[in-house]
Amino acid sequence: MTPLTVPRPWAATGRRRSNVPVRPAPSRLTGSARIGTLPAMTVKRTIVFDDEADFLLRQVAARSGISASAWLSAVTRREALRTCAAPQPDAEQHCRYDEQELLAAEGAA
């Protein structure tokens, strides 16, 4: 079986012709009011599941009609709200101290 070849006008010279316009790929954020930062940036994480958890994840996500990643995101948000894990305005300040220092400061006050 021979591979399908597509004729390329610049193949004879070995380089792309300069008069062929190259258009950038269409952006998903065309017309966005926010330039510089993405409004809904995603983060890639590596999560390791055992076989049973992976099977259950894929089964429940398929039953919901969404991807496993989207299902995990929704469940994470729901669980965070359920356990009252709202972001604290002074969380960065508390991260600088360990638990013993915070207890000592609260006891002294």
pLDDT, tens digit (0-9, with 9 covering 90-100), for 57-80: 999 999 999 999 999 988 888 888
Looking at residue 84, its pLDDT comes to 75
Distance CA 73, CA 64 (A): 13
| CB distance 71 to 60 below 8 Å | yes
Using CA atoms of 29, 89, 44, 71 in order, give the dihedral in degrees to the nearest 10.
-90
Distance CA 52, CA 54 (A): 5
Length of the chain: 109
pLDDT greater at residue 49 or residue 8: 49
**What's the pTM?**
0.42
Looking at residue 57, its pLDDT comes to 94
- Highest mean pLDDT among 22-31, 77-86, 94-103 belongs to 77-86
Looking at residue 78, its pLDDT comes to 85
Segment 84-105 shows an average pLDDT of 65
Looking at residue 4, its pLDDT comes to 58
Owner of token pair 């809904």: 40
How does DSSP classify residue 11?
Answer: T
- Highest mean pLDDT among 18-27, 75-84, 91-100 belongs to 75-84
